[in-house]
Amino acid sequence: MLLGLLHLLPLASCHGLAAAHRLRGGAALTLPPLVGAYQSALAAAPITTNVLSAASLSVLADGMAQAVERRGSWDVSRAAWISAWGASVSGLMLFFWFRLLARLFPLAASSTAQLVGKVALNQAVMSPGLNAGFFTFVVLTRDKAPPPAALTSATSCLVTTLLATY
């Protein structure tokens, strides 16, 4: 997610950060070239870049979660499954979802009504779907539950989670 937002950073501010860092006696930051390379990758292959970014960030986030949980050795299977979720859902599906929202609400950046409509549609459609999908995915991949039990388990937490996210 964070890498997906890097294209919003103006390169001038990154260069300013590097200059400020050098003035304090530190080594030059490598952020501007990385941001530029990432922006180039997004322009050249947006879907592939999003999929790889989402998969990488999913593994990183899961690694941090596993470190906090401290359950012994790193669970490679769990990381692989979460990477698959990140790539397919966060990287691929949401790429097309956000493009659809951009087409449906082209003036969202300047129109409060369109912005509210865009957020409302996203929350009404995507939030329940993503939460239910993720809960089911986790139950199926981690608990090895059969699909009917996975659905029951996922829906038991769904209402509470949806209420907390609104």
Region 8-32: what's the mean pLDDT? 49
What type of residue is 150? A
The pLDDT, as a whole number, for residue 145 is 60
CB 18 within 8 A of CB 31: yes
* 86 and 155 housed in the same domain: yes
* 27 and 55 housed in the same domain: no
* 16 and 32 housed in the same domain: yes
* 92 and 112 housed in the same domain: yes
Is 0.75 topped by the overall pTM? no
Q: What's the chain look like in SS3?
A: CHHHHHHHCCHHHHHHHHHHHHHCCCCCCCHHHHHHHHHHHHHHCHHHHHHHHHHHHHHHHHHHHHHHHCCCCCCHHHHHHHHHHHHHHHHHHHHHHHHHHHHHCCCCCCCHHHHHHHHHHHHHHHHHHHHHHHHHHHHHHHHCCCHHHHHHHHHHHHHHHHHHHC
Domain count within the chain: 2
Q: What percent of the chain has pLDDT over 70?
A: 72
CB 35 within 8 A of CB 5: no
Query: Which one, of 9, 85, 97, lies nearest residue 54 by Cα?
Result: 85
The residue segments making up the domain with residue 53 are: 47-165
Rounded to 10 deg, the angle between the 94-104 and 112-121 helix axes is 150
* 36 and 82 housed in the same domain: no
* 75 and 39 housed in the same domain: no
pLDDT tens-digit readout, 34-64: 888 999 999 999 999 999 999 999 999 999 9
Which structure tokens are listed for 166?
A: 């609104």
CB 158 within 8 A of CB 109: no
